[in-house]
């Protein structure tokens, strides 16, 4: 089966939950005997290889601006995929889904799938016109494809309530990290094992890095006599995504605290080392689909503190590790409470996290569900209002 992935920025994934999702899915589908082509934006990767672990990479141009990058690349990629003879065109993300009607008209025998990753219009980086378009894209994601996949139960309820759309729940996944003896790479950031908190995210307002920085500053200020807290550092792993002004604001908030380290985006062995040696992961996001960065932190057996949005409750249920969304004082209190737990309690929390994701979120168990959607949907009709129902997931 020839499968085209459209909507991601590219491969190999250097940052972004959608990109990592696509990388894991595409490489495993190739191992399962499928032919997969991933459409990549020319600016995303430094080296433009045409093959990545058996996945064919097609680099196509886009108008590289905040508002036109995605839609122009998706349009060009869709036309290319149609004429390349793809049997499945799988769109990832809400913005790309806006054009999912194209193959329904131009290639009626092609199976069209959309994965709904998150409600993008909640991102504060978008203006009101963009939010209207993204709302329209949500409806497109639910009405045009033969099947709509959602990565969280919250999104499944949203699609049903807002658009009367029955979707297929197939969550994000993780690969359990392998042990790595050389963890020295995190030292270059001035960090010591078990003496820093970590946040891994694109630096956009809805991820809440500013809330974490202010809470961390308050924690330091109020506990100036606590040696353990005064030695603690905060590593913020991520960078700008058309959000340079916001990143400048973050640096300004942290300018009087030398214990806040901005590492920019990191991948591979450096990111592995940062995860492996952290004391805990903190994710103060206001809006998520199913946060891959939280799943990955849990896979490293890290205690994980999260904001009280619905998608986080699918992963973390211990109230001691959940703080109020967009609330600096509550986050500071939860950080202090966590730091006052014993080493044994911290270890137990981390092990529980790892066991939970191992049981429920391994990619090797998730990818066959996606393949089953493709295979069971090959008898689709060309009626966008009557998509085939496939019972996958629970």
| Domain total in the chain | 2
Question: What's the token pair of residue 92?
Answer: 């990832």
- Considering the domain boundaries, does residue 166 fall inside one? yes
Tokens 């729940």 — which residue? 169
- Asked whether residue 48 is assigned to any structural domain, the reply reads yes
Give the pLDDT confidence of 197-237 residue by residue, as tens digits: 999 999 999 999 999 999 999 999 999 999 999 999 999 99
Are 355 and 369 found together in one domain? no
Percent of the chain scoring above 90 in pLDDT: 82
- 261 and 134 share one domain: no
Q: What is the dihedral of CA 100, 102, 107, 110, to 10 degrees?
A: 0
Tell me: do 368 and 220 sit in the same domain. no
The answer as to whether 231 is a domain residue is yes
The string of pLDDT tens digits covering residues 263-280 is 999 988 899 999 999 999
Same domain, yes or no: 166 and 57: yes
Burial label, 89 (beta-carbon count in 10 A; 0-12, 13-18, 19+): buried
> Please, where are the H alpha helices in the chain?
17-31, 69-84, 94-97, 101-106, 128-143, 153-163, 209-222, 227-231, 244-253, 268-277, 292-299, 310-313, 328-339, 343-360, 363-376
Give the count of beta carbons closer than 10 Å to the beta carbon of residue 271.
20
Residue 142 sits in the same domain as residue 36: yes
Measured CA distances, 134 to 70, 138, 204, 369 (Å): 12, 6, 17, 27
Whether 163 is covered by a domain: the verdict is: yes
Domain of 74, CATH number, reads 3.40.50.2000
Position 385 scores a pLDDT of: 39
Looking at the domain assignment, is residue 322 inside a domain? yes
Establish if 179 belongs to a structural domain.
no
Q: Are residues 212 and 139 in the same domain?
A: no
Same domain, 205 and 149: no
Closest-CA residue to 296 (of 92, 15, 6, 52): 15
Task: Kindly state whether residues 233 and 342 are assigned to the same domain.
Answer: yes
Same domain, 153 and 122: yes
What residues make up the domain containing 326? 184-360
Residue recorded with tokens 């190739």: 30
Residue 45, pLDDT score: 84
Q: Does some domain include residue 139?
A: yes
Examine the domain organization and report whether 223 and 346 are in the same domain: yes
Mean pLDDT value of segment 142-166: 95
In a domain, 168, yes or no: yes
DSSP H or E stretch at residue 307: strand 304-307
Q: How far apart are alpha carbons 3 and 118 in whole angstroms?
A: 22
- Shared-domain flag, residues 53 and 115: yes
Mean pLDDT of 342-348: 96
Is residue 308 within 8 A of residue 322, CB to CB? The reply is yes
Residues 275 and 339 in one domain: yes
């Amino acid at each position: 089966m020839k499968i085209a992935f459209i909507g991601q920025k590219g491969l190999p994934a250097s940052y972004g939950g959608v990109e990592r999702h696509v990388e894991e899915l595409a490489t495993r589908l190739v191992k399962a005997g499928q032919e997969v082509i991933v459409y990549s934006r020319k600016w995303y990767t430094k080296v433009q290889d045409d093959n990545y672990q058996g996945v064919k990479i097609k680099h196509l141009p886009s108008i590289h601006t905040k508002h036109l990058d995605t839609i122009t690349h998706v349009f060009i990629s869709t036309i290319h995929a149609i004429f390349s003879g793809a049997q499945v065109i799988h769109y990832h993300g809400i913005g790309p889904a806006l054009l999912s009607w194209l193959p329904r008209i131009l290639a009626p025998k092609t199976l069209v799938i959309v994965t709904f990753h998150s409600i993008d219009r909640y991102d504060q980086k978008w203006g009101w016109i963009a939010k209207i378009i993204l709302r329209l894209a949500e409806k497109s994601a639910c009405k045009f494809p033969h099947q709509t996949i959602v990565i969280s139960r919250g999104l499944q309820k949203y699609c049903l309530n807002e658009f009367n759309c029955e979707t297929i729940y197939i969550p994000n996944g993780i690969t359990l990290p392998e042990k790595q003896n050389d963890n020295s790479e995190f030292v270059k950031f001035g960090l010591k094992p078990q003496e820093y908190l970590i946040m891994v995210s694109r630096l956009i307002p809805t991820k809440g890095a500013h809330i974490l920085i202010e809470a961390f500053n308050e924690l330091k200020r109020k506990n100036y006599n606590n040696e353990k807290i005064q030695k603690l550092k905060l590593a913020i792993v991520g960078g700008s995504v058309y959000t340079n002004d916001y990143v400048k604001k973050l640096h300004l908030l942290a300018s009087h605290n030398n214990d806040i380290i901005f590492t920019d985006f990191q991948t591979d062995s450096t990111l592995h080392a940062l995860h492996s040696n952290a004391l805990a992961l903190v994710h103060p996001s206001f809006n998520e689909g199913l946060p891959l960065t939280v799943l990955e932190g849990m896979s490293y057996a890290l205690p994980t503190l999260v904001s009280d949005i619905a998608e986080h409750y699918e992963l973390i249920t211990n109230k001691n590790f959940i703080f109020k969304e967009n609330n600096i004082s509550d986050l500071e209190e939860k950080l202090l409470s966590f730091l006052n737990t014993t080493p044994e309690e911290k270890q137990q929390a981390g092990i529980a996290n790892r066991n939970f994701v191992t049981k429920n979120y391994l990619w090797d168990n998730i990818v066959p569900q996606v393949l089953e959607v493709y295979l069971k949907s090959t008898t689709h009709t060309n009626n966008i209002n009557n998509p085939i129902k496939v019972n996958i997931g629970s």
